[in-house]
Amino acid sequence: MKIFQPLLPGLLLPLGLILVTPTLSNPAFQVIYPPNGHETTADRIFLIGTAPPQAEVTINGQVVQQRSSAGHFAPSVPLQLGENTFVVRAQNQDIRLQIKRLNPAVEPPQGLAFAPDSLTPKLNLARLPNEPICFSAIANPAAEVRVKLGNLTLPLRSTAQTNQLPDNKAALTGTNQPVATANPGLFQGCTALATPGSWGQPLFQLNLQGKTLTQTAPGSVEILDPVQFTTVEVISAQGVARTGPSSDYSRLTPLPKGTQATVSGREGDWLRLDYGGWIRGSETRTLNINQPVRSLIRSIRSREVPGWTEILFPLQVPVPIAVDQGRQSFTLTLYNTTAQTDTIFLNQNPVIERLDWQQLAPGQVQYRFNLKSAQQWGYKLRYEGSSLVLALRHPPQLARKGLPLQGIKILLDPGHGGPEDLGARGPTGYPEKAVTLIVSQLLQQELTQRGATVILTRTADVDLDLPPRVDLINREEPTVALSLHYNALPDNGDALRTQGVGMFWYQAQSHDLAVFLHDYLVNKLQRPSYGVYWNNLALTRPTVAPAVLLELGFMINPSEFEWITDPQAQRRLATTLAEGITTWLRQERP
């Protein structure tokens, strides 16, 4: 018999019998987070831990007042810049923590020097003629700074203050407002260059109190020849296109394998393609073609395959694309394309009411599919040779008699797993990976009893990276895909006051499911609401089906942790979630 053993005592049998021992309710004194030696830029941090309920817990001599009935605690404490020492005491035991708060700002040098790693460009860059090229450095605020590039000398101006945007995670704690930040010693300036060729590495010159220092920037500048074309082809299955030259920038519609485009800029390993998107050079290969990528499009045909309607767009070359899903529409944009379209073949089908198109601008054609239902069920894009194939998924066929989910395939992804990926941990150290698997298997039982075919990405405590989970969704093409998780917060969050059910979606076809399940769980279980979020996550990005990531509660909240680990509450959660999925799938839609 194959047995799954969680980190804390408990047993999961193949038939779904779950035995959880009561050791969670009477733990020893411990602090789970942060670890000793932790470093952070946050101005405060929560201390997550537990002690017997009758034992007094103090932090630097101050009594921790708010604790759960089982003795768990999670107070937030302020942090000063530099080293912070906390002594957590209970039952005559001390746990000593050293936490270092780092200053995210770069301090300007006091003498004749540039701040380390402050000269830009940091990477080799290439731009078209007369595009802005910007330079920056950090030095003593009293200095004068210039940059020389070829025969050009550009004085840089001191920038006293800028509005800094917090990390995207700040939306999770409601702290995402711009912050006016002083920038003593930040020097900036931009210019434009008209002459193609290599301009080399910029030479920065610093003058202070009659002394001069010169230093070369690590990156070089090149101006591309507008009549010498570099054409690349996407070689990955789905090229990751972004709004800028790093993974910090937002994703655009993925570029199907075979897509071709002309390079209009470079920065490090990133290429800017002629339609505006950026892609890693490692996801492309250079073609021996010295001409811009351009295509005509004429007639269009549709065809039906099991479960899908496919629309074929014959092109001369595979061009970049973009997708926009509306409430009852699906819009496909082809770049570098000119229409000569007079005929479109589109029969009556389960998804599309009508197809309209227009030439929005030179080299940009837009196709708008007016759909029969506001709920979309999935789409796929690929190139067959130079023809683009768009597949729109048909609505699921629900049985009118018998079990309510007969014929429905549902994929469940228990988050995290294995010895290296515990996920969030509660005050006792109990890991998210264990409870996601327990609840996923309980939910599997409930959905199976309702007639569904249920696939789990993992059925044991094993390592499973994100790409195999996504690949399984794409291969199985379930009716819906749900990734089950439990939540935590960034260091500056409030673990005591933050709790509740949260839903995360990315593709428009997943929005209604995310909102429905959120409201259903909150209302039926009387749980707090953490809210519904649009979020660019690996398990929300698949396009073949509505895909939602569920955060079912906060592991770090002392009281909610007790609900999360209560076997009876787990069963009720699984039952309610199965009821919600069934209700959503079977509701009447226009």
In a structure prediction context, what are the per-residue pLDDT tens digits for the chain, which is 590 residues long?
332 222 332 323 333 333 333 334 446 899 999 999 999 999 999 999 999 999 999 999 999 999 999 999 999 999 999 999 999 999 999 999 999 999 988 889 999 999 999 999 999 999 999 999 999 999 999 999 999 999 999 999 998 788 888 889 889 888 899 988 888 899 999 999 999 999 999 999 999 999 999 999 999 999 999 999 999 999 999 999 999 999 999 999 999 999 999 999 999 999 999 999 999 999 999 999 989 999 999 999 999 999 999 999 999 999 999 999 999 999 999 999 999 999 999 999 999 999 999 999 999 999 999 999 999 999 999 999 999 999 999 999 998 888 999 999 999 999 999 999 999 999 999 999 999 999 999 999 999 999 999 999 999 999 999 999 999 999 999 999 999 999 999 999 999 999 999 999 999 999 999 999 999 999 999 999 999 999 999 999 999 999 999 999 999 999 999 999 999 999 999 999 999 999 999 998 76
d(CA 49, CA 32): 5
Question: Is domain 409-586 classified as CATH 3.40.50.800?
Answer: no
Side-chain half-sphere CA neighbours of 309 within 13 A? 20
242-271 in b/e form (b: 16+ CB < 10 A) is beebeeeeeebbbbbbbbbbbbbbbbeebb
pLDDT computed for residue 27 by the predictor: 62
Supply the DSSP string of 45-93, one letter for each residue: EE-EEE--TTS--EETTEE---B-TT-EE--EEE--SEEEEEEEEETTE
Pick the CATH number of 104-158+180-222 from 3.20.20.80, 2.40.50.140, 2.60.40.10, 1.20.1250.20: 2.60.40.10
d(CA 332, CA 515): 26
**Are the beta carbons of 561 and 431 closer than 8 angstroms?**
no
d(CA 511, CA 394): 18
Cα 178 to Cα 158, 165, 485, 500, 556, distances in angstroms = 21, 5, 30, 27, 27
pLDDT computed for residue 180 by the predictor: 86
Supply the DSSP string of 177-243, one letter for each residue: S-EEEE-TTEEEEEEE--S-EEEE--EEEEEETTEEEEEE-SS-EEE--TTS--EEEE-SSEE--BS
**Are the beta carbons of 147 and 204 closer than 8 angstroms?**
yes
Coil/strand/helix, residue 437:
helix
pLDDT computed for residue 5 by the predictor: 27
- Phi, psi torsion values for 383, nearest 5 degrees: -105, 130
- Phi, psi torsion values for 549, nearest 5 degrees: -100, 125
d(CA 589, CA 521): 21
d(CA 470, CA 450): 25
Task: Look at the block and give the residue holding tokens 């200053």.
Answer: 103
d(CA 181, CA 300): 54
* pTM confidence score: 0.92
Helix, strand and coil content of the chain, in percent to the nearest 5, comes to 15, 40, 45
The closest alpha carbon to 478, from 426, 542, 400, belongs to 542
Give ∠ CA 432-434-436 in degrees, rounded to 5: 70
Alpha-carbon 10 to chain mean position: 33
d(CA 458, CA 441): 10
Coil/strand/helix, residue 149:
strand
**Are the beta carbons of 438 and 431 closer than 8 angstroms?**
no
Give the pairing type, strands 284-287 and 179-182. Answer: unpaired
**Are the beta carbons of 246 and 191 closer than 8 angstroms?**
no
The closest alpha carbon to 143, from 176, 177, 118, 179, belongs to 118
* DSSP conformational letter for 148: E
**Are the beta carbons of 464 and 414 closer than 8 angstroms?**
no
CATH number of 231-287: 2.30.30.40
d(CA 253, CA 277): 9
The class that CATH gives domain 295-393 is mainly beta
At 43, list the tokens. 């101005």
What number of H helices and E strands is found in the chain?
A: 5, 47
Supply the DSSP string of 512-547, one letter for each residue: HHHHHHHHHHHHHHTPPEEEEEE---TTT--SSS-E
Supply the DSSP string of 346-362, one letter for each residue: ----SSEEEEEEEEEET
Cα 325 to Cα 330, 369, 377, 503, 585, distances in angstroms = 5, 10, 11, 20, 20
- Please, which residues have CB within 8 angstroms of residue 434's CB and are 6 or more apart in sequence? 6, 7, 8, 10, 461
104-158+180-222 and 409-586 share one fold: no
Domain residue ranges in the chain: 10-101, 104-158+180-222, 231-287, 295-393, 409-586
At 169, list the tokens. 């995670």
**Are the beta carbons of 70 and 28 closer than 8 angstroms?**
no
Sequence letter at residue 291: Q
The class that CATH gives domain 10-101 is mainly beta
At 480, list the tokens. 């819906």
pLDDT computed for residue 104 by the predictor: 86
